[in-house]
């Protein structure tokens, strides 16, 4: 009988975006200079540390998530899967998407939006928002979780938080 696989899941909130301009769609907001600098710092950090590389990256089609994901996908050599339902999705929509990940993928990432991406983290990690290291992921908050099973088995309260990165934490570690 085959042993269940340990899976790794990155949940990443997009980096800091520009403030909305008059008549600009939220969907089209791009990264602010600080957001782009934070992404560059995260990529450099991942290059210098033994960080599990996501080979499959679910990404919302919004400009700011695409710009956040692109450098990570290049570093990790990830297959990027743009999924329209991820734009401003709730935790259960995000979970449904992740459950559709091919079983051949051992390490997967998702770049999304708050409040859904933070709610998904709390849902999967069985964390009480009062005792967690954060109530909501900050912009470019990145968490790495693990669980044992198949992607379709991903469910509330089964993941272990193995790392948490944020722009502030990365700056403090320099």
Question: What is the model's pLDDT at position 4?
Answer: 81
Percent of the chain residues topping a pLDDT of 90: 83
pLDDT of 119 above 90 = yes
Whole-angstrom distance, CA of residue 94 vs CA of residue 43: 24
- pLDDT tens digits for 10-59? 999 999 999 988 888 999 999 999 999 999 999 999 999 988 999 999 99
Question: Would 85 be classed as within a structural domain?
Answer: yes
- Residue 131 banded pLDDT, cuts 50, 70, 90: low
The single-letter DSSP state of residue 61 is: S
Instruction: Give the H or E element holding residue 38.
Output: helix 33-48
Question: Would 63 be classed as within a structural domain?
Answer: yes
Question: What is the model's pLDDT at position 133?
Answer: 61
What are the φ and ψ backbone dihedral angles of 117, each rounded to 5 degrees? -65, -35
Question: Would 99 be classed as within a structural domain?
Answer: yes
Question: Would 116 be classed as within a structural domain?
Answer: yes
Q: What is the dihedral of CA 142, 144, 150, 152, to 10 degrees?
A: -30
Question: Would 129 be classed as within a structural domain?
Answer: yes
Helix axis angle, 91-99 to 116-125, nearest 10°: 70
Question: Would 110 be classed as within a structural domain?
Answer: yes
Domain of 136 in residue numbering reads as: 6-18+26-172
Question: What is the model's pLDDT at position 120?
Answer: 96
Question: Would 144 be classed as within a structural domain?
Answer: yes
User: Per DSSP, what are the bridge partners of residue 69?
Assistant: none
CATH number of domain containing 121: 3.40.50.1240
Question: Would 1 be classed as within a structural domain?
Answer: no
- Counted domains in the chain: 1
Burial of residue 20 (CB within 10 Å: 0-12, 13-18, 19+) is: exposed
């Amino acid at each position: 009988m085959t042993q269940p696989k340990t899976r790794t899941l990155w949940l990443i909130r997009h980096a800091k975006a520009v403030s909305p301009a008059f008549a600009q769609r939220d969907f089209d907001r791009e990264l602010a200079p600080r957001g782009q600098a934070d992404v560059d710092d995260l990529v450099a950090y991942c290059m210098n540390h033994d960080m599990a590389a996501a080979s499959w990256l679910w990404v919302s089609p919004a400009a700011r998530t695409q710009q956040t994901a692109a450098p990570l996908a290049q570093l990790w050599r990830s297959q990027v899967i743009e999924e329209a339902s991820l734009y401003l999705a709730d935790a259960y929509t995000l979970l449904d998407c992740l459950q559709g990940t091919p079983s051949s993928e051992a390490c997967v990432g998702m770049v999304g939006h708050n409040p859904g991406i933070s709610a998904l983290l709390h849902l999967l990690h069985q964390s009480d928002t009062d005792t967690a290291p954060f109530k909501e992921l900050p912009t470019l908050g990145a968490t790495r979780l693990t669980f044992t099973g198949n992607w379709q088995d991903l469910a509330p309260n089964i993941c272990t938080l193995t790392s948490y990165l944020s722009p502030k934490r990365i700056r403090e570690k320099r």
